[in-house]
Structure 1
Amino acid sequence: MTEQPDPAGAPAPRPRTRLLLVLAAAVLALDLVSKLVVVATVERGEDIRVLGGALYLTHLRNTGAAFSFAEGFTIVFTVVALAVVAVIVRTARRLFSTGWAVALGLVLGGAVGNLIDRIFREPGFLRGGVVDFLSVFGPDGEVWPVFNVADSAIVCGGVLGAGLALRGIDFDGSRAGDEEPAEAA
């Protein structure tokens, strides 16, 4: 895709697809590496206190959604994750907003990270339990449910996306009602 100047002489905005994919790959790599380390070094149910008890490493498996909601519906969540990935990949072509590229990159990386667990981890194909291991302010999710890097990325991307939507910023960087792309998007 070549940049074509607009009538005012400014170069056309460039798609933010590369940013989305690089961020998604970074999130995925961090998620996979962290899960591999936890599975190799922390026994299931073991609690390792770090940061003076502000964080515990607690190796659990989650076959439900966030906060262990709807356990036993792993196949449904796998299909939902596949749909999310497909929609984000399809949207990437018309993505010119840096903010949306970051938001969708975080969600894509996190969705793929948890999807890999659901596909390949025990008890079997499409029924695997997601490795969760971060517990804040108490062991075993006493204060806050146990989560992982992918979950954090999905939540941060979702919050950023909601903020962009509330501000009226579209995927192309324009604001609702504007004809020109937003500069700060």
Structure 2
Amino acid sequence: MRTTILAALITFVIDQLSKWAVVQGMNLKEVGQIDVLPPYLVFHMAWNRGANFGLLSGHGDLLRWGWVALAVVISTWVMFWVRRERFSTLGQISAGLLVGGALGNAIDRIVYGAVADFLNMSCCGFANPYSFNVADIAIFAGAFGLILFTGETKNRA
């Protein structure tokens, strides 16, 4: 359980620090776009008021607070799950990534009214129109890790 809490805390802090550094420190909220290593890495400001890729973004404050509540409920459920089961270290880290990322995006919705997305990556003739953030990466990696590293034969240390 301690491993999960530590992974969640580290993920949350890295997510919030990266958002602060880029959105506030580099003033991306005003500049809009900063070419870092174009087209491979571009900081492109996007305020996500919906779900993944901005889905359901036109439903205002009801959806905003719904996403915050959902993040808290899922994070709480995952923490109870980790406590109840005996996950491997990788399973615990995966759970921490998911929880830290979910809470990082929830804080954005509380503070800004939307999730601050700024990473944009394109390659090999594919122009990616979407931006994402560290929390999004952590949520994806954590969910994938929970699939891989938990279960009947995989959750025992």
Q: TM-score, normalised by structure 1?
A: 0.72
Q: Which of 60, 64, 86 does residue 46 from structure 2 map onto?
A: 60
Q: Look up the match of 1:143.
A: 128
Q: Look up the match of 2:153.
A: 175
Contact 2:86 2:156 (C-alpha < 8 Å) held by counterparts: no
Contact 1:44 1:60 (C-alpha < 8 Å) held by counterparts: no
Equivalent residues, number: 148
List runs of 5+ in structure 2 lacking aligned partners: none
Contact 1:95 1:101 (C-alpha < 8 Å) held by counterparts: no
Q: Look up the match of 2:35.
A: 49
Relative contact order, higher structure (CA 8 A, sep 6+): 2
Q: Which of 21, 30, 34 does residue 5 from structure 2 map onto?
A: 21
1:155 aligned to 2:140? Answer: yes
C-alpha displacement of 1:160? 1.4
Change (3 A) 1:61 1:45: farther
Identity of aligned residues (%): 29
* CA distance in 1 between partners of 2:76 and 2:106 (Å): 13
Alpha-carbon RMSD across the aligned residues, in angstroms, is 2.2
Structure number with greater Rg is: 1
C-alpha displacement of 1:77? 1.4
1:38 aligned to 2:31? Answer: no
Q: Look up the match of 2:56.
A: 70
Contact 1:117 1:129 (C-alpha < 8 Å) held by counterparts: yes
Contact 1:38 1:59 (C-alpha < 8 Å) held by counterparts: no
- Structure 2 counterparts to residues 79-94 of structure 1, below 5 A: 79-94=69-84
List runs of 5+ in structure 1 lacking aligned partners: 1-16, 122-127
1:133 aligned to 2:126? Answer: no
Contact 2:45 2:118 (C-alpha < 8 Å) held by counterparts: yes
* CA distance in 2 between partners of 1:161 and 1:77 (Å): 21
- Structure 2 counterparts to residues 98-137 of structure 1, below 5 A: 98-121=89-112, 128-137=113-122
C-alpha displacement of 1:48? 1.2
C-alpha displacement of 1:146? 0.6
Please state whether the residue corresponding to 1:131 is helix, strand or coil. Answer: strand
* CA distance in 2 between partners of 1:132 and 1:82 (Å): 20
Q: Could you give the per-residue CA deviations for residues 54-102 of structure 1, whole angstroms, max 9, x where no partner exists? A: 0100122111011111113222212211111110222232242222201
Q: TM-score, normalised by structure 2?
A: 0.84
Structure with greater helix percent:
2
